[in-house]
Structure 1
Amino acid sequence: MEWLSVFAPEAAQRLAENHKEQLPLKGTSRERDFEPVCKLFLPWTAGTWLLTELDDDGLAFGLCDIGHGMPEVGYVSMDEIYAVKGPGGLRVEQDLQWRAKHTLSEYAAQARSAGYIRA
């Protein structure tokens, strides 16, 4: 679980809380449209993730954009994101200054229209 070091402690806690709250609601009309908890990015590429949930095994849920013009909402493995290494050993980072202004579905609609995540 080396990937856990990517998250500020408050973000990791809120992602886990959201996951626990959402779990019994998945697939129902009561499913929550959370504001993203955090923004992750790859400093040397256009890869960006706005995450709302995270389970104990590192499966995260949110808006994902690897920079090919097709952002999508879904699940992503933190093991896979963390395994990506860039120049000088750079890895995925959390944007500690970023704060959500919209719900995940609003960011997703904007991203589909623009072809990338605007955050």
Structure 2
Amino acid sequence: MVYYRDRIYKAVDSVDQNTIELQSYTEVQGSETLQNFISLWTAYKSDLAQIVSLSLENNKGRAFEISISKGLTIRDSIIKTLSYLIKKSEENMQSDKEENERKYYLTFLFLFCLF
């Protein structure tokens, strides 16, 4: 059981690190969504710690109860929030790509007309 606890906490640390890194890449609108994710994630980490603790104490019934009630609701919200953040990021990347292509084309035309 300790093996699984360590794996869970390693995954939690990874999410925490990636969240910090992601904060430096988000725009204003994405920042609001990311803050929503962070608050949900903080709540879920608390539940996750409780689930792990109860499991280690062989109180698996109570751990399962938290996992399928409050934990499930928060997980669903986290997934929805992350999916939205990913979708918006993909849309922004596509928009930036199109803008860069347009600028490249205009620069090319300018240079072509110049010569």
| TM-score of the pair, normalised by structure 2 | 0.30
Structure with greater proportional helix content = 2
| TM-score of the pair, normalised by structure 1 | 0.29
